[in-house]
């Protein structure tokens, strides 16, 4: 029996530099991961099969064609695995939920059979965030986000609150709404320095599509974090705090003021 957490991905900074001829975008992003997320359990079986449960399981339209099944098909892992996915992260939320699930499968295969030398290429074919989610450590991503450089993080252990207004925001329309203006490269320095001086160029386009993102950001700002920002293409936003006490106070305030919103409290890995 294998157990693995699909750690929630956040983009501490996300700079969109240009549209490419192939329809993708050149990015500079700082990936970080929260110490919680979806949960997967796998056991030997005669053939691969996937069952889903959890709050957001119903948002997966085709369990047999989703990214977990594709990850299983991308790697040799024996006769078969019966995988149970507890879907705890919202879908189309900027947290790399599906990519994180695939990353967890890759780590399970690594434990039992090892990964092939070309695992990064196989992971990238499943999605631009998947290679980073396989590593699930702080790293800088360039290109489409698949060219990765792990970096030591001075934010490891930082209390973090994730909040989503329970509105799905598909990635494609947000990138399409980007105005095409290159606002400059991601800054250098420590992870904390990059996060504080960086930005998310998709935050404005996402708010235009889903105004509730602005409400979430304002509510987080009102809890006095040292950083609040949208992750990925939205709609999830995160806030970083100087203490666990401040995190818990913020989580309680938002649960009281906005009980309809989803939230997850944890620490950066």
Domain ranges of the chain: 2-150, 159-267
**111: its two tokens:** 């434990």
Q: List the chain pLDDT tens, one digit each, 269 residues.
A: 999 999 999 999 999 999 999 889 999 999 999 999 999 999 999 999 999 999 999 877 555 568 999 999 999 998 899 999 999 999 999 999 899 999 999 999 999 999 999 999 999 999 999 999 999 999 999 999 999 999 999 999 999 999 999 999 999 999 999 999 999 999 999 999 999 999 999 999 999 999 999 999 999 999 999 999 999 999 999 999 999 999 999 999 999 999 999 999 999 99
Contact assessment for residue 60 and residue 87, using Cβ atoms and an 8 Å cutoff: yes
User: Residue 25 contacts by C-beta under 8 Å, 6 or more apart in sequence?
Assistant: 16, 17, 18, 19, 144, 175, 178
Q: What is the pLDDT of residue 79?
A: 86
Q: What is the dihedral of CA 98, 255, 165, 142, to 10 degrees?
A: -50
What pLDDT is attached to residue 58? Answer: 83
* CATH architecture for the domain at 2-150: 2-Layer Sandwich (3.30)
Among residues 38, 101, 129, 201, the one annotated as catalytic is 129
Task: State the maximum Cα–Cα separation within the chain, in Å, rounded to a whole number.
Answer: 53
Nearest in space to 142 (alpha carbons), one of 54, 55, 1, 25: 25
Q: What CATH fold (topology level) applies to the domain 159-267?
A: Alpha-Beta Plaits (3.30.70)
9 noted as active-site residue: yes
Q: Which of 9, 48, 87, 201 is catalytic?
A: 9
């Amino acid at each position: 029996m294998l157990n693995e957490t699909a750690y929630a991905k956040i983009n501490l900074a996300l700079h969109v530099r240009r549209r490419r001829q192939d329809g993708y975008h050149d990015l500079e992003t700082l990936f970080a991961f929260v110490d919680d997320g979806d949960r997967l359990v796998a056991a030997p079986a005669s053939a691969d099969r996937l069952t889903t449960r959890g709050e957001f399981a119903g948002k997966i339209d085709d369990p047999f064609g989703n990214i977990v099944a594709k990850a299983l098909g991308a790697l040799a892992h024996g006769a078969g695995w019966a995988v149970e996915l507890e879907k705890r992260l919202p879908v189309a939320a900027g947290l790399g939920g599906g990519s994180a699930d695939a990353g967890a499968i890759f780590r399970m295969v690594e434990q039992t059979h090892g990964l092939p030398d070309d695992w990064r290429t196989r992971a990238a074919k499943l999605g631009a965030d998947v290679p980073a989610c396989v590593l699930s450590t702080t790293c800088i991503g360039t290109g489409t986000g698949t060219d990765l450089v792990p970096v030591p993080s001075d934010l490891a252990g930082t209390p973090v609150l994730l909040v989503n207004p329970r509105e799905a925001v598909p990635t494609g329309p947000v990138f399409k709404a980007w105005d095409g203006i290159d606002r400059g490269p991601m800054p250098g320095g420590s992870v904390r320095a990059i996060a504080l001086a960086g930005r998310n160029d998709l935050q404005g386009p996402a708010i235009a599509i889903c105004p509730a993102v602005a409400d979430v950001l304002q509510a987080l700002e009102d809890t006095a974090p040292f950083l609040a920002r949208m992750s990925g293409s939205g709609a999830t936003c995160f806030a970083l705090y100087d203490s666990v006490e401040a995190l818990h106070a913020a989580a309680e305030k938002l649960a009281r003021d906005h009980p309809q919103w989803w939230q997850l409290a944890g620490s950066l890995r």
